[in-house]
């Protein structure tokens, strides 16, 4: 069971200037009732699509059945943003190097990256999962074009058997192409946005193709969904949202450091980074006022970044809130038995385990942050498996949705990136975007300031 330890968020731990008094949590227990009710109303009306996803047993079963017959050693995902970060996070947490299966994600159009990535793949051994909610994403469609040619060039007519598409069930070019080419199609529910789609076939199809147990993933997600509708003091997602909201707004913690103490959760941190940044980074609130909200998420890895970012976290400006993820049990604690016990720097490690050292360093960092008055909370998991990852994803999604309620913004759109997409189309000469070329021409005429 996931737990939220917020001891080091309290003013008793980090002082009144940086912490939250315990009484604020008790007050929130009563004043939060309407927020929990509002979110449940939104869900019942079909406006909180992600929350219902794990309860769709039929889709989970269809995904698992489909994957069972596909014995491809390489799973190539073509997608970007939510269509890449979810599958990558699942693989990093649950994939094993010697499973005989590997995930490769083409989530960038850097041409050298595309070329190098294809050079590591054998068409015959690869299943390609093209993922795009809209079915028109420039990066995904161009990469699909290149990969389709690569696959067809190698396998001819048999190439068809190496593609599966995940997209909107009703619209978009990718859906039409899949129908034309007779590719299997998996649906992203129309009321689920990209960054909230990890538990739809966006995440579950690659996971199942890698041999992971998607039923257990959904069990954990269901549990977290149910827990996230409970009253405040039994609801870690709501409590975590409240903490970040207060720290950002009233304690000037303008950054949220996502700090997993688990290598398995490193890519999960990048998934969360999109979830938090894109959901809460908003110019206008629901009343239409200009607010320019958004706590900036940044990722740090325990213990690795103790030797990179921790100096800044401890001695730099006290402008960050820390969210640690900790795991109680590892698959193998790894004994440290060595031949160098006569050396001071190795003697104390003899007959200990890597797990002990890892946990000691996590605890030391927690204490050091707290002593430096840096507010930090820890999300605890017993272990990393399908069940706990499903729980963690759903917890994170509810946490973000609750934060959206507290800020009173729309957590489910991303209007700020449309302008750049239109400029790209204009630059690429796509029909219908010529008005943007005037702006581009103006900019090209400007003198550049360059030092070389």
Extract the tokens encoding 426. Answer: 């204009």
* Residues sharing a CB contact under 8 Å with residue 77, sequence separation 6 or more, in sequence order: 83, 84, 87, 88, 103, 104, 105, 106, 107, 129, 131, 206
| 374 near a second copy, rule: CB under 8 A | no
The CA distance from 268 to 418, in Å, is 26
142 binds a second copy (CB under 8 A): yes
Q: Where are the beta strands (DSSP E) in 312-442?
A: 320-327, 335-336, 352-353, 376-381
24 binds a second copy (CB under 8 A): no
Cβ 102 to a second copy, closest distance in Å?
11
Please identify, using beta-carbon distances, which residue of 50 and 242 lies nearer to a second copy.
242
Per CB under 8 A, which of residues 32..71 are in contact with a second copy? none
Q: Please, what is the end-to-end C-alpha distance for the chain in angstroms?
A: 56
- Residue whose CB is less far from a second copy, 25 or 259: 25
Candidates 420, 435, 441, 445: give the one binding a second copy (CB under 8 A): 420
Residue of 234, 250, 382, 408 interacting with a second copy (CB under 8 A): 234
For residue 164, the SS3 value is strand
Site size for a second copy (CB under 8 A): 157
Grouping H, G, I as helix, E, B as strand and the rest as coil, residue 4 is strand
Min dist CB 30 to a second copy, Å, is 16
Site for a second copy in 97-136 (CB under 8 A): 97-98, 107-117, 119-120, 135-136
CB 267 within 8 A of CB 293: no
Q: Which is nearer to a second copy, 148 or 162 (CB)?
A: 148
Adjacent-strand bridge partners of 76: 104, 128
Please report how close the Cβ of residue 234 comes to a second copy at its closest, in angstroms: 7
Q: Least separation, in Å, of the C-beta of 451 and a second copy?
A: 5
Contact status: 163 vs a second copy (CB under 8 A): no
Neighbours of 87 (CB within 10 A): 30
Residues in 238-267 that interact with a second copy by CB under 8 A? 239, 254-255, 261-264
Rule CB under 8 A: is residue 81 a binding residue for a second copy?
yes
The residue among 61 and 427 lying less far from a second copy, judged by its C-beta, is 427
The residue (of 64 and 255) whose beta carbon lies closer to a second copy is 255
Contacting a second copy within 386-415 (CB under 8 A): 414-415
Q: CB-hemisphere CA count at 13 Å for 192?
A: 26
Contacting residue, 34, 65, 68, 96, with a second copy by CB under 8 A? 96
CA atoms of 199 and 221, how far apart (whole Å) = 8
Q: What is the DSSP string of 306-346?
A: GGTTHHHHHHS-S-EEEEEEEES--S---EE--S-TTSHHH
The residue from 59, 60, 197, 235 that contacts a second copy (CB under 8 A) is: 235
Q: How far is the CB of 297 from a second copy (least distance, A)?
A: 8
Closest approach, Cβ 230 to a second copy, in A, equals: 10
Dihedral angle at the C-alpha atoms of 275, 276, 282, 286, nearest 10 degrees? 90
Residues 165-194 that bind a second copy (CB under 8 A): 172-173, 176-177, 194
Q: Which residues are tagged catalytic?
A: 278, 307, 421
Does 226 bind a second copy (CB under 8 A)? Our answer is: no
Any contact of residue 354 with a second copy (CB under 8 A)?
Answer: yes
Residues 208, 63: Cα–Cα separation, whole Å? 7
Using rule CB under 8 A, residue 310 touches a second copy: yes
Query: Strands 102-106 and 163-167: what pairing?
Result: unpaired
Report in angstroms how near the CB of residue 308 gets to a second copy at its nearest.
4
């Amino acid at each position: 069971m996931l737990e939220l330890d917020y001891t080091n968020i309290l003013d008793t731990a980090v002082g009144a200037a940086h912490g939250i008094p315990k009484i604020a949590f008790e007050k929130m227990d009563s004043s939060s009732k309407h927020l929990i009710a509002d979110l449940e109303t939104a869900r019942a009306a079909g406006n909180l699509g992600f929350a219902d996803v794990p309860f769709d047993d039929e889709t989970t079963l269809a995904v698992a059945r489909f994957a069972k017959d596909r014995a491809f050693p390489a799973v190539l995902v073509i997608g970007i943003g939510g269509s890449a970060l979810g599958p990558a996070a699942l693989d990093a947490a649950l994939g094993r190097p010697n499973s005989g299966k590997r995930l490769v994600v083409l989530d960038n159009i850097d041409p050298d990256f595309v070329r190098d990535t294809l050079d590591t793949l054998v068409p015959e051994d690869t299943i390609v999962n093209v993922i795009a909610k809209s079915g028109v994403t420039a990066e995904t469609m161009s990469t699909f074009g290149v990969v389709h040619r690569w696959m067809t060039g190698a396998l001819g007519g048999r190439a068809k058997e190496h593609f599966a598409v995940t997209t909107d069930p009703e619209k978009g070019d990718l859906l039409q192409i899949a129908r034309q080419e007779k590719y299997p199609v998996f649906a992203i529910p129309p009321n689920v946005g990209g960054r909230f789609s990890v538990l739809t076939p966006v995440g579950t199809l690659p996971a199942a193709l890698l041999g992971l147990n998607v039923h257990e993933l959904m069990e954990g997600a269901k549990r977290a969904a149910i827990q996230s509708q409970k009253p405040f003091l039994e609801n870690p997602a709501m409590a975590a949202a409240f903490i970040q909201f207060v720290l950002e707004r009233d304690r000037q913690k303008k950054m949220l450091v996502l700090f997993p103490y688990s290598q398995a959760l490193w890519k999960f941190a990048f998934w969360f980074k999109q979830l938090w940044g894109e959901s809460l980074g908003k110019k206008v609130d629901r009343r239409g006022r200009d607010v320019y909200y958004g706590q900036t998420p940044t990722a740090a890895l325990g213990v690795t970044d103790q030797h990179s970012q921790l100096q800044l976290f401890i001695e730099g400006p006290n402008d960050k809130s820390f969210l640690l993820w900790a795991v109680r049990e590892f698959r193998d604690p790894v004994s440290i038995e060595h031949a160098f016990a006569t050396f001071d720097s190795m003697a104390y490690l003899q007959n200990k385990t890597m797990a002990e050292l890892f946990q000691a360093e996590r605890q030391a960092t927690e204490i050091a942050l707290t002593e430096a008055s840096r507010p930090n909370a820890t999300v605890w998991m017993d272990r990393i498996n399908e069940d706990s990852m499903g729980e963690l994803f759903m917890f994170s999604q509810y946490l973000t949705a609750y934060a959206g309620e507290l800020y009173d913004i729309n957590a489910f759109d991303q209007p700020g990136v449309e302008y750049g997409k239109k400029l790209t189309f204009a630059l690429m000469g796509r029909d219908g975007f010529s008005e943007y070329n005037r702006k581009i021409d103006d900019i090209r005429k400007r003198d550049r300031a360059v030092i070389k």
